[in-house]
Amino acid sequence: MNSATDNTRPVLIVAGPTASGKSSMAMDIAAEFDGVIINADSMQVYQNLRILTARPDKADEARVPHRLYGVIPPSQNCSVAHWRDLAVAEVETVLKAGQLPVVTGGTGMYIRALMQGLAPIPEVPAEIRLAVQAGFDKNGGTALHAELSECDPESAARIDVGDKQRLIRAVEIYRATETPLSHWISLGNEGGLSNVMFQPLILMPPREALYERIDARFHQMINEGALDEVGKLLELGLDSELSAMKAVGVRELAGYLAGDLTLELAVSSAQQASRNYAKRQMTWFRNQIPEAETVFAQYSESQRPKIFSFVRQFLLTNPV
């Protein structure tokens, strides 16, 4: 556990892969310790996708306060920087009220941005981002990596030709700013919180048990109306490249609704995509937040006493 410093204010981070039980754990903690849950899930920020993104339902929201859920229309993209600004404001509001911020989600980039700040990289215009994306889709990563090697050899040395997301990001930043990504990173991070002690608490269930839960949960989503939810989203006629349209299950269920996939194939494909995502999340948390207190189990009532004891000790040394 981190040691306290003068005037240190506590912020609890509750994280883990999808379907690990982190939302339930966060709600139990918030109910016990006068907390407010602040969303750190990049898909739960969007409206219109409550079922498919497993957003807390109205009963959950009535039990303890929830912030930053369903606050962005699916017609807009929520960048890491925008979420960070919203989250910083919410954390400050909660702390000023004398309550415990419980930042909850599985989006590692969001959590790191809150804990460490971000490099001061300007926003990239949408037309540049789409042009770089189209170039990758047409020519593959080799041509784009060659371009990056010319304009930003330092970043090119760190980014593999097959790492689509990071490769596109580095090239679009250079095209938009005529300045290498490596230069922006060298300026250091900004926009973090001051006099705050972060305590990450991460759920890491056994993989096979987690995968079984993921599969069962997607069937439950279907039973709760996920198909209707996706149908209504498609009726908005949104660009398929928008972030909300890339939520796990949207593409697969849209394929079923269009008659291109059977329901069985759509469900199994979405389950596989969700399992792949969970695997990436677990790898990220292991490598990027090694200082976290880790619970190697699915969250359940049996873990509650141990977790409450840990949180209580954290608050004794870092009072609100």
CATH of the domain at 220: 3.40.50.300
Arithmetic mean of pLDDT, 170-184: 93
Q: What is the pTM of this model?
A: 0.87
1 belongs to a structural domain: no
Contacts of 152 (CB under 8 A, 6+ apart): 170, 174, 180, 181, 182
25 and 172 assigned to the same domain: no
For 75-126, the pLDDT digits (tens) are: 999 999 999 999 999 999 999 999 999 999 999 999 999 999 888 888 888 8
Task: Answer whether 165's CB lies under 8 Å from 144's CB.
Answer: no
pLDDT-based confidence at residue 149 (cuts at 50, 70, 90): very high
Domain range spanning residue 172? Answer: 126-186
The side-by-side arrangement of strands in the sheet containing 196-203 is 66-67, 35-39, 100-105, 9-15, 196-203, 293-295
214 belongs to a structural domain: yes
Total number of domains in the chain: 2
- pLDDT(155) > 60: yes
CA distances from 279 to 196, 250, 255 (A): 30, 19, 24
